[in-house]
Structure 1
């Protein structure tokens, strides 16, 4: 069967595969963003301090960053459907533990577990799409749907959590996510055909461990550094993080089963897609992760109001991602990435200059601008992630791209918390919190601009 003229059965298979892959990605992003709108009530219920709040927001990113590359290899070598099903089951289990968590530590560990499961779902989803949709306009359209599912998940997660928090408690959102993900697990097993790569690479568990512990040590150093950057604990953690991450690079260079082929960083399309994903996580995702908690404490906007503002950003990105496939073919993927990052930066700059008397209409224009740009980014990232790697390694490309996004998110959330929340700031320090927000928005905008510059430079070297 040729890809140019798929049979009705082939078309049905590709439609089912795209539906399952997009729904899996949507549920993963809903789980990822669920705490954003309810961070204040969640932290209060779990008796979390400032460090605990930061870990609640960044913990799922650690699981995603740790496992995306490994699960991409697992998907390519041992079966994309099999990996998707296992990941969805783990994602559901993590949601169950979140729903019953008695304290911050249990909740954070459950969020890391959700990240591990979500990593398998996301890494295999783009591999499934690449296998069932031939390169060209068909795959571009499917990638647009996948990009829209990213935006939809980001939009619906906080909204679901906020509505259920008002109706019952924040815990019910995780019950709903657990049930929905369990249903999808069964559907994926029944509806998606199995596929593997023609060139297996083998697993790299030590590389995954070094990356996860390195990123975790870096986050811990940033959190502890808020109490004093010259103290012994953050210094030791920074040293440990550097040793682990350097060890990861050295091991990957020498390993015959490296989960990431570092030679790909000599390939401009791969560099562009990876840096764009890193800047997306460290920029707009990091700032939006902090926004709902800030709105509640500093501006008195409740969880549902904050979720609706987030929805203004993320829903706009969904629509834009779906429309992005209509862009002229002359506008290349890397151009879309660079323009998208600049647009996101403009939107975040529009979110600065707040005063303690600001209200929600002041935020909406910047969120809408950032939403349009985010949609362009999401659509282009889904396509460029698999276009920048050799044929048959779509899982690795997807894993590398999403790893960069969530490493950026984990680090970015922590940096935003450090910049935006002075030590000791509370509801009585509204002026300091608003000043911190304005600074954080500028920092994340700068991260986006830096990413756009690197993407543009990689394009000129092509």
Structure 2
């Protein structure tokens, strides 16, 4: 019974994590209307959470190992509840962004700890497999049904309840965890790679800030060049620090393992196109198609639900044909889905076929990617491999939320200038249209401009994920037949990889 209640606590935490990722995009048009949020501010409502998760993700495993996984888990749950309350009570978009960043810090810590708790509380074998299956299903349900849950909360109550609902779930989770989660530590836990954490965070934040704010800053301005220089220096410093650190967050030598690198292209590919588009689809449905909140939530189910239904088939395909075929195939299928959505926007047809194919393809790809990134390295490196996998997903997601937003605004801006050469500040109008605002323009001009913007965004997603599918294919096929049971080629083994105990328990 104790383990069962602990599992319920972990699953509730996973549910909150999944809901928080996929329910918030639905409220973007509402935030534009009620908080008068600009398009760039709407981007930061999502990206603040993602960047904060990335910042804390790698550190939490080490802290939990040293100070107790149950203790850090409970602190993270309490913090998630409090920061959700802060988001729900925010009276301005600025405070909402601050709340989202703090919520992301606690959410990333919570996600890392719950994986470690499952690995230590449940004995290896059938019990652990069932526990991880329950966690995965619950997290997937949160992701899949998040859009309709968010839409219903907005329709029945207000946008604040998309955040406030987590306060009640957090209280229940905290009570269950306090009495049933077993405390555990790692006596061999290493010191936190603080320098690596800081330089990685500065690199990702600098890149995202430049993508979202570069045009308004002026690309030739000294301020923009200063941020670019700081970002480049931080990136180079991160690589240097990690290559010299005795227990690095990112041990770059694992990239010599071709199966790991090939699977990592899958992690990047899924978050290059599929999940960033989730941020902007509600704007298309509501502003471009005239859907209400609930209709938008239901339309988004076609995009997210297939991701829940296809993983069993993905596992069967991987068992039969191998990850080296399944992962690139899944990425190519996502590209096909995006091309169908691109054609649907251009021809004024339904996005449904493309959305279904993209969602199903992601469902086929996700589990093989996770299993291969952790399974292709020696057992004592699985935690670090898992950390790299999750970090690659979140970093790609943050950067592409910004990139897709910039492409959307640029496409709308170009369309407005073609259609209305006499228009005044086309760039400002483009940002308002991209944010879901109702703009007084001649009939059909705003909707046509929005369609042009989405066409460019979808084409970018399709070409990008197709290129990553090709990269994955090449990485897998290069010496794939020479890999031994540990996932290394003979040449890889000839060049020893430094041992590290970083986040072993986060691997599950």
Identify the TM-score tier after normalising by the shorter chain: 0.7 to 0.9
SS of corresponding position for 1:226: helix
- Name the count of aligned residue pairs: 449
Please say if 1:411 is aligned against 2:379: no
* Aligned twin of 1:300: 290
1:218-233 superposed matches below 5 A: 218-227=207-216, 228-233=218-223
In the alignment, which of 9, 18, 29 is matched to residue 18 of structure 2? 29
Whole-angstrom CA distance in 1 between matches of 2:318 and 2:377: 23
Please say if 1:445 is aligned against 2:428: no
Please say if 1:57 is aligned against 2:46: yes
Whole-angstrom CA distance in 1 between matches of 2:318 and 2:378: 25
* Aligned twin of 2:409: 421
* Aligned twin of 1:190: 179
1:5-404 superposed matches below 5 A: 13=3, 19-131=8-120, 145-197=134-186, 199-227=188-216, 228-327=218-317, 329-355=319-345, 358=348, 362-392=350-380, 394-404=382-392
* Aligned twin of 2:475: 458
In the alignment, which of 412, 433, 451 is matched to residue 450 of structure 2? 433
Q: Kindly tell me: are residues 381 and 35 of structure 1, through their superposed partners in 2, closer, same or farther at Cα, counting changes over 3 Å?
A: same
Give the conservation status (yes or no) of the 8 Å contact 1:73–1:395. no
Give the conservation status (yes or no) of the 8 Å contact 2:211–2:406. yes
Unaligned runs of 5+ in 1: 1-8
Displacement of 1:379 in angstroms is 2.1
Post-superposition CA distance 1:130-175 (Å, at most 9, x none): 4466888887776555444443222232222211111221001211
For the pair shown, which has the larger CA radius of gyration, 1 or 2?
Answer: 2
Displacement of 1:49 in angstroms is 1.3
Q: Kindly tell me: are residues 392 and 318 of structure 1, through their superposed partners in 2, closer, same or farther at Cα, counting changes over 3 Å?
A: same
Q: Kindly tell me: are residues 384 and 73 of structure 1, through their superposed partners in 2, closer, same or farther at Cα, counting changes over 3 Å?
A: farther
TM-score normalized by the length of structure 2: 0.80
Unaligned runs of 5+ in 2: 411-426, 434-438, 484-508
TM-score normalized by the length of structure 1: 0.88
Post-superposition CA distance 1:231-263 (Å, at most 9, x none): 444333222211112221212222234222222
Q: Kindly tell me: are residues 331 and 48 of structure 1, through their superposed partners in 2, closer, same or farther at Cα, counting changes over 3 Å?
A: same
Q: Kindly tell me: are residues 456 and 271 of structure 1, through their superposed partners in 2, closer, same or farther at Cα, counting changes over 3 Å?
A: same
Displacement of 1:65 in angstroms is 1.2
Give the conservation status (yes or no) of the 8 Å contact 1:143–1:379. no
Displacement of 1:17 in angstroms is 5.7
CA-based RMSD: 2.7
Displacement of 1:19 in angstroms is 4.7
Displacement of 1:323 in angstroms is 4.9
Whole-angstrom CA distance in 2 between matches of 1:372 and 1:357: 23
Give the conservation status (yes or no) of the 8 Å contact 2:22–2:278. no
Give the conservation status (yes or no) of the 8 Å contact 1:149–1:318. no
Give the conservation status (yes or no) of the 8 Å contact 2:6–2:176. no
